[in-house]
Structure 1
Amino acid sequence: MTYHPFQIYGRERKSRWLITVDHASNHVPVEINNGDLGLAPSDMERHIAYDIGALGTSLRLGELLDAPVIASNFSRLVIDPNRGEDDPTLVMHLYDGTIIPANRYIDEAEIERRKEAYYRPYHKAYGELVAEREDPIIIAMHSFSPKLNGRASRPWEIGILHAPQEDRFSLPFIERLQEESDLTVGDNEPYAGHLLGDSIDSHCFSKDTPHLNTLIELRHDEIDTDPKQNAWAERLAPMLNDVLERTGL
């Protein structure tokens, strides 16, 4: 079977929504050390390798919003599609206390090969999907660990990341989530805003008129099974539509 560095689900769907999953997979292509980064299988199942539960949640959300879903098909440890090409963390040598053996002595030639083989094809397809839509609304779906090594537990079930240059949708969405009495909602938590050159920056903010977008972070113990993923998608879809209707964007 031919390897593809991304998958598009429901490309024929025609709503304004587009769902992206930068860290959908923990797959390591066979060209990289015979498909092995030198980590234990248990490490490849951790959050360091991919965003646990993000793909399943996104696929159900795409069905509910009539939205295509684009998902990477390589581990973030191979190369991180949610980083700019010149970001020093584009290929991680160490993540949450774990050394990545296959990346430890990586040279510029191998980084360039990974950009060309995995990173750039994903972003080319991402850009094409954005260009196919009039007034797109991009939902970037991620998940985060309940606790990093040596850090405090994270109380938020969901966090919304946004940047001041484009928060027309994100801020009303945070307000809508805060109406839910059982949720602790992170406003630019557990991370702050967007990074220069990251996916949202590249595909939304680099335009003359920034595209509507929001980046959703779900704590991965909230979406680590199929039923939980479906439940969150079914909860989020009507809220996203509600915010769109309320704001008239």
Structure 2
Amino acid sequence: MHVPDGFFDAPTSVVTGVVAAAGVGVALRKARAELDDRTAPMAGLVAAFVFAGQMINFPVGAGTSGHLLGGALAAVLVGPWTGALCISVVLLVQALFMADGGLTALGTNITLMAIVGAFVGYGVFRLVLAVLPKKVGSVPVAAGIGAFVSVPAAAAVFTLLFAIGGTADVATGKVLAAMVGWHVIIGIGEAIVTGLVVSAVITSRPDLVHGARGLASIRRPLLTEEVSA
């Protein structure tokens, strides 16, 4: 879904840049409430995992590409604000060092993948979790559903931006069909990956999963020194 330089006109790129800057600024403040000494290292691991996952790209059309987004996964593991920061850092590194997405389109990419991806995914995750049994085992299922919805949602917002300020000579209907169609398929893969990763982390350290906080069945594993004592 990386948007290249020049794909949107200047006003659209400026507006999405402002949205991205404001979102990152708020996230920097809000993330302090989501992280502590135990969970902060998880943010780095999440960013590294998403970075690796986004290396698998394939063309969708009109200069854009499709790949796993990782916003919902990051939001469930470390919180939506921290998750949005993780994805933003990944996108910045990719734009600066790997020419994956343009620098003038960085705000657009952050808006689509870090903000829309993370918050839509986390919002759906919370809605689904509210109707599932209140146990840790429900978290991977809800995370997978949130991840599935977040991907075509980001693609739909992309199409809306294209309709407003797209510069490519492609009909909006074709862009919508290509982007949403492909990203529904990508969403299925993202749902599977997200569910499996969240399940793996919950199996070993459920207390580190932000989305599982407050569930009665969470019990922090005893540390070696605690067992010895």
Q: Same fold judged by TM-score > 0.5? A: no
TM-score between the two structures when normalised by the length of structure 2: 0.29
TM-score between the two structures when normalised by the length of structure 1: 0.27
Task: Kindly indicate which of the two structures has a greater share of residues assigned to helix.
Answer: 2
